[in-house]
């Protein structure tokens, strides 16, 4: 299975998962060049192409150095086939931090 190098960002967890040697699937942080494929997957699901929205999401979750935020893509044979976006945040009234997934799509 091909492993793609992922640059480390200060304050963010290093996320790269390769589920199995035979499936050719790689999960890594989103890159600017992935956005067209992310937009296409979302448009298939929602029926709307939201280019400005996804540029904003990329700036906030993909290009940001904020700790706890993740925008990951799944690639098969070098093509984006899915994505997930989420973050770890504090809950109310002193509860411990927990993870929130607010977008997940698979082609």
- 95 DSSP 8-state letter: P
Coil, helix or strand at residue 44: helix
Structure tokens at 73: 């893509």
pTM: 0.75
Segment 29-40, tens digit of pLDDT: 999 999 999 999
Percent of the chain exceeding pLDDT 70 equals 79
Amino acid 20: pLDDT: 56
């Amino acid at each position: 299975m091909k492993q793609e190098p992922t640059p480390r960002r200060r304050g963010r967890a290093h996320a790269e998962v390769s589920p199995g040697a035979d499936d050719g699937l790689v999960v890594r942080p989103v890159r600017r060049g992935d956005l067209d494929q992310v937009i296409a997957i979302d448009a298939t699901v929602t029926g709307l192409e939201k280019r400005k929205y996804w540029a904003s999401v990329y700036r906030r979750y993909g290009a940001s150095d904020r700790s706890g935020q993740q925008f990951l893509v799944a690639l098969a044979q070098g093509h984006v086939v899915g994505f997930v976006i989420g973050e770890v945040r504090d809950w109310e009234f002193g509860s411990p931090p927990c993870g929130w997934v607010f977008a997940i799509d698979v082609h």
